[in-house]
Amino acid sequence: MTWWRDAVVYQLYTRSFADSNGDGVGDLRGLIDKLDHLAWLGIDVIWLSPVMPSPNTDWGYDVADYCDVHPELGSLSDFDELIETADRRGIRVLNDLVPNHTSDRHAWFVDARSSVDAAHRDWYVWADGRGDGEPPNNWVSSFGGPAWTLDETTGKYYLHLFLPTQPDLNWWNEGVRDAFDEIVRFWFDRGVAGFRIDVCQSIVKDAELRDNPAATELDPPQVRLYGQRHVFSGNRPEVHDVIKNWRRIARRYKPERLLLGETYVWALDALADFYGLRNDELQLGFNIPFVFAHLDAEALHAIVDDVQRLFPRHAWPAWTGSNHDAGRFPTRWCRGDERKVRCALLMLLTLRGTPVLYYGDEIGMPNTPLELDDLRDPVGLRFYPAYHGRDPGRTPMHWNAEDGAGFTSDVVKSWLPLGGYESCNVAAQRNDPGSVLHLTRDLIALRRSSADLRRGAYKSRVPHNGLWVYRRGRRTAIALNFSDEEATVRRLKGRVLISTTRQLDDQDVGGAFSLGPWEGVAVELAG
Ligand code: GLC
Ligand code: CA
């Protein structure tokens, strides 16, 4: 049963979702209290950014213990209760798995760095410098600077593709592989429906630690930024064996557990490879070029078309506009224009594949502008003011217009500042059938009721002047006017199932009809 294909996934950052005890930090009990909202919205699966114990130098992505819950967020028994309560509402729970690196406070690393003979020494990547204080090779950290730090105790460098407090594991070591098999089973046995896998593409490094080649003008800006292609520091063919092994484990469970990869690759054929030639790797992989594309019909159509062309038959796409790294699409794609937010939601929820929403997407929540003093993300702290980091997309959920936004009772302590919750919040939008929240809910319901939208084939016309028209299955068509001008949709006849402005809902359209600027419709085709 490929349950993930029919699902709508919802990512949430537990720290920012709902605070049950007034310490300003969202927690599992707060989340449990909000499951009714997610059930009402029609969400099938929630993905929690890491909830494991962590010194939080990278906010949970530096894990100090893979088989427990961070005390600020709750306990393992809260986690069990979450799974049970969610299950009663038909909602599955995904955990985040961070196999590329641990925290430097993890017992494995504490042991590893203590001596060259330590039991866990080879669990991490150690190398000698190149003399003159030069690190072992030219690899750079995604968070800036060299990917190597000299460890005084043993005089060797250790590798970290992210912060120095996030040492990379050595996936050539069998002990590491066995330890993760156990971690994966630990959570599967507890009832998690699967994992989102962090930095999926880079887990295995070149065994010889060769220098990365320089980036060229042909590379996307995000690659050129680092001056090099990650040819040897990741994207190695051997990563596929690791994923295959997890998939074998996932298959042994009923229902089958899901592996959703953070496949941070810029070439869609490389993304396709992560599904495995025999449907034996990830069931879903994030599409990074799509996330970072502009809200532009031609650009998005080209990506969706490539996916159609390059993915093997068994591979199922995932579509997302916001996450805890890229920030929120209502800002990045839409610059706060609600018409665009509505169009983007119609697109995300009607493309062929599994949509992954981010908490707040359902109300069109924008990024929160922050000052230096507010920042908690190490990346923002390092690059401010050129880049404010990822905190603007991680601020607390807007539940209502009261002090604390319904997120916390103690506004002063809220771990990141609250955004503009007075003007954009769940409570107000629930009372307004014309709101973005109701549109999201109605789109999810439509998707659930329509076999065309869930599983139907995708066939698109080539966009023209920002008008993108595609068909799903036999009887359903989507028309999106991604432009500032009115557009005429031709050769589409039927009944409007839903429109972004709600003005055309249930109307018959025939032959040719017009869409306002940034307006979209889903149409049930006649005959
Ligand atoms: C992934 C996560 C990001 C984190 C990084 C290091 O890209 O999504 O939030 O900082 O990995 O774990
Ligand atoms: Ca709390």
pLDDT of residue 193: 98
Distance 412 CA to ligand 2 centre (A): 13
Closest by CA to 397, choosing from 426, 428, 436, 356, is 426
Who's near 217: CB < 8 A, 6+ residues apart? Answer: 224
Kindly state the percentage of the chain with pLDDT values over 90: 98
H or E element: which one contains 471? strand 467-472
Cα 483 to averaged position of ligand 1 atoms, centre (Å): 34
> Is 98 a pocket residue for ligand 1 (Cβ < 6 Å)?
yes
For residue 60, how far is its CA from the centre of ligand 1 (angstroms)? 9
pLDDT greater than 90 at residue 132? no
Known catalytic residue at 23: no
Token pair recorded at residue 209? 């630690």
- The pLDDT, as a whole number, for residue 131 is 86
Q: Residue 322 pLDDT more than 90?
A: yes
Q: Which of 163, 195, 197, 198 to mutate to test the pocket of ligand 1 (most atoms within 8 A of CB)?
A: 198
Main-chain dihedrals φ then ψ at residue 467, nearest 5 degrees: -90, 120
Enclosing H/E stretch for 149: strand 148-151
Report whether residue 198 contacts ligand 1, using a CB cutoff of 6 Å: yes
Given the DSSP bridges, would you call strands 354-358 and 9-12 parallel, antiparallel or unpaired? parallel
Residue nearest (by alpha carbon) to ligand 1 atom 9: 325
Active-site residue, selected from the candidate residues 19, 27, 262, 362 = 262
Q: Helix 239-251 to helix 174-190 angle, to the nearest 10 degrees?
A: 30
Task: Output the residue whose Cα is nearest ligand 1's atom 5.
Answer: 61
pLDDT band at 1 (very low <50, low <70, confident <90, very high): confident
Would you say 244 and 276 are in contact if contact means Cβ atoms under 8 Å apart?
yes
Mean pLDDT of the 462-474 span: 98
| Mean pLDDT on 42-49 | 98
Average pLDDT of the residues of the chain? 97
3 state SS of 248: helix
Question: Closest ligand 1 atom, CA of 101?
Answer: 12
Q: How confident is the model at residue 248 (pLDDT cuts 50, 70, 90)?
A: very high
Cβ–ligand 1 distance for 199 under 6 Å, the answer: yes
Whole-number pLDDT of residue 328? 98
Tokens of 417: 């500042």
pLDDT in tens, 136-161: 999 999 999 999 999 999 999 999 99
pLDDT of residue 527: 78
CA-proximal residue: ligand 1, atom 4 (nearest): 61
CA of 142 to the centre of ligand 1 (A): 9
Read off the tokens for 400: 């209502």
CB-CB contact of 93 with 83 (8 Å): yes
Asked if the model's pLDDT at residue 343 lies above 90, the reply is: yes
Q: Tell me what pLDDT residue 412 has.
A: 85
Residue 513, ligand 1, Cβ within 6 A? no
Out of 61, 161, 197, 387, mutate this one to test ligand 1's pocket (max ligand atoms within 8 Å of CB): namely 61
Q: Counting atoms of ligand 1 from 1, which one is nearest the CA of 324?
A: 9
| Pairing mode of beta strands 458-460, 467-472 | antiparallel
In tens, the pLDDT along 484-518 reads 999 999 999 999 999 999 999 999 999 899 999 99
276 touches 260 (CB < 8 A)? no
Q: Is 228 helix (H, G, I), strand (E, B) or coil?
A: strand
- Cβ(162) to ligand 1 under 6 A? yes
Which protein residue's CA is at the shortest distance from atom 7 of ligand 1? 199
CA of 56 from ligand 1 middle (Å) equals 12
Q: How far apart are the CA of 55 and the centre of ligand 2, in A?
A: 16
For 505, phi then psi, to 5°, come to -50, 135
| Position 75 confidence tier, pLDDT thresholds 50, 70, 90 | very high
| Paired residues of 260 in beta bridges | 196, 284
Could you report the per-residue pLDDT of 78-111, keeping only the tens digit for each? 999 999 999 999 999 999 999 999 999 999 999 9
Ligand 1, closest atom to CA 161? 6
Dump pLDDT digits (tens) for 262-302.
Answer: 999 999 999 999 999 999 999 999 999 999 999 999 999 99
User: Is the peptide bond between 385 and the residue preceding it cis, with omega within 30 degrees of 0?
Assistant: yes
Task: Please tell me if the CB atom of residue 232 comes closer than 6 angstroms to any atom of ligand 1.
Answer: no
For residue 199, the CA-to-ligand 1 centroid distance in Å is: 7
Alpha-carbon distance 343 to 448, whole Å? 19
Indicate if ligand 1 lies below 6 Å from the C-beta of 324: yes
Q: How many helices (H) and strands (E) does the chain have?
A: 16, 19
Q: Which of 78, 96, 198, 273 is catalytic?
A: 198
Nearest ligand to the CA of 19 is: 2
User: Which ligand 1 atom sits closest to the C-alpha of 390?
Assistant: 9
The answer to whether residue 189 is catalytic is no
Q: What is the pLDDT of residues 411-456, one digit of tens each?
A: 888 999 999 999 999 999 999 999 999 999 999 999 999 999 999 9
- Which residues pair with residue 48 across a beta bridge? 12
Supply 316's token pair.
């199922």
- The strand pairing partners of 438, in sequence order, are none
Report field, pTM of the whole predicted structure over 0.95: yes
Phi-psi region of 270 (alpha: psi -120 to 50; beta: other; left: phi over 0): alpha
| DSSP characters over 17-54 | T--SSSSSS--HHHHHHTHHHHHHHT--EEEEPP-S--
